[in-house]
Amino acid sequence: MIGLPAPARAGIYTWTDIAQSAVPKAECGAGSLPETGLQGDVPAADRASGRSTEGYRCNISFVGGLQQQGGGILSPTYDHCSYTGTFFPGNLLDGAAPGVHVLDVSDPAHPVHTATLNEPAMLGGTWETLKVNTARKLLAATAVPITTGTAYFSIYDISDCAHPVLLNPGPGTDLTMPLPFLSHEGGFSPDGSTYWASSTSPGLLTAIDVSDPANPRVIWHGLQSLTAHGFGISPDGNTMYFSIQNGINILDISAIQRRDPYPVVPQIATYHWADGYFDQQSVPVTYDGRPYIFTGDEAGSGGVKLIDVADPADARKVATIKLEINMPANLGEHAQSATGNGIFSYDAHYCVADRPADPTALACSWIASGIRVFDVRDPGDIREIAYYNPPAQTGRQGQLVNSVHADTAVIGAPVWNYVPLARELVNGKLDPATIFGPRSGMMFGGDISSDWCLSPPMFHGDQIWTTCTDNGFMVLRLDNGVYTPPADQESTVGS
């Protein structure tokens, strides 16, 4: 079924406020190697001196990892395994094993590469589509060669997580049997019966029925916005929080979940905001049974917003998580240090709650600020408890062919920071002199002097398993008593 969203009197709301405070900084204990400047910053002086090649850590230690040729963009984990996503065309330059690398992390200090998935969807660049469904033990991705992809989709049984088994050799995998969709991002419904694919421009949303994984079939398309991104889905599979350029659309997807023969997807409400843009994904959680979402912007220093969605037609923003480097007053220093390190800088990307009900911690990949971990037990008193910004791989672009950061470092200008920068300049709240520094001439030919962390940081007891684009897969351990894993820990991503 192909169509537009159902006609509805959905409300459209705009939040114009800009958050002016950062969360309290983590208090670093023994064994830490703290940041030397603002919270979240990798100062220009550290990049020049080589200090950033040591990395920065606070209440987290490195256990083990596997760098290989870089970490692609998004790399999920399941059970004792991790799956390293691919960036096209760089991953094809891995002459030994192009494709998605399967890692056995039974020994977290010594991960082992056990298999390579090389179907068309895996070779074509998985971007932000490589996802796991734990309920059905499935792994899937679409091919996204250049920001938007189409046609190829492969799905695997990961009951033996170190040795995935392809389930759809026909539709979606066979070169002569493409599927009709556009994708940049993707993910499963909670029950694993539907794989949703979304594209950036236009903002097309597609539902793929994977009830029978051997025969995936497109059952619905909807054009949701001019531009779009990822999403989060409520635990019952009936509500989608769909990321658009400057906010979210809240959609009723219950007809897809029920498999109505002629499904209609009403738009419940749209929320736009001025504080950040390119909303990335949403993590549905509850506090005392009341539904909320954590939703982050990958550009514009918007940070991560906590939104009360108990009434989706009247959602309320209750908190914003930002670092000091995201503060409007610090955007000049932000531009100074980020220039020469690529188009992205110090922004949130993927977040993970440690359980869906009454979460105690939220871990977020914060691009050039590394992995940040927050105490979120009290929504009114969120604070940072730990961070890990891995050692910069300065000058190693040629070796990291599967790193989107290394492969695109020819563009050194942090262009996605320029919108809030311009806003503050126009409003007369920023001294133009603060923008310029020793790296200002590095608009082209970046030096990858800090990593980009994009993957969801997954909780595994007191460890976090994640992948950054330059350093590859890493196992990190939370130290100094800052985190006690709840008995019902369940990493929650939202899709």
How confident is residue 121, by pLDDT bands cut at 50, 70 and 90? Answer: very high
End-to-end CA distance of the chain: give it in Å, rounded. Answer: 22
Region 113-126: mean pLDDT is 98
Q: Which residues contact 410 (CB under 8 A, 6 or more apart)?
A: 444, 445, 446
Confidence at 445, pLDDT banded by 50, 70, 90: confident
Q: What percent of the chain has pLDDT over 70?
A: 98
What does the pLDDT read at residue 379? 97
Q: Is the pLDDT of residue 405 over 80?
A: yes
pLDDT band at 378 (very low <50, low <70, confident <90, very high): very high
- Backbone torsion region of residue 37, taken as left when φ is above 0, otherwise alpha when ψ lies between -120 and 50, otherwise beta: beta
Compute the average pLDDT of residues 351-365: 98
Whole-number Cα distances in Å, 73 to 143, 225, 251, 284, 356: 13, 24, 27, 22, 25
User: What are the CA-CA distances from residue 471 to residues 55, 84, 257, 390, 464 (Å)?
Assistant: 11, 12, 38, 7, 15
Pairing, β 2-3 against β 217-225: parallel
pLDDT greater at residue 409 or residue 188: 188
Gap between the Cα atoms of 345 and 415, Å rounded: 9
What pLDDT, on the 0 to 100 scale, is given for residue 9?
65
Q: What is the DSSP string of 450-490?
A: S--B-S--EEETTEEEEEETTTEEEEEEE-TT-----TT--
Model confidence at 4, pLDDT cuts 50, 70, 90, reads: very low
Average pLDDT over residues 394-418: 93
Query: What pLDDT is stored for residue 218 in this prediction?
Result: 98
Number of neighbouring beta carbons within 10 Å of residue 289: 8
Query: What does the mean pLDDT of the chain come to?
Result: 96
The token pair at 203 is 């903002």
Beta-bridge partner residues of 81: 78, 104
pLDDT (0 to 100) of residue 298: 96
Least confident of 131-135, 174-178, 222-226, 379-383: 222-226
pLDDT in the model for residue 146: 86
Q: Does pLDDT of 7 surpass 90?
A: no
Q: Given a cut of 90, is residue 71 above it in pLDDT?
A: yes
Q: Which one-letter DSSP state was computed for residue 46? A: H
- The least confident of 256-260, 356-360, 438-442, 465-469 is 438-442
Instruction: Give the pLDDT band of residue 485 (cuts 50, 70, 90).
Output: very high
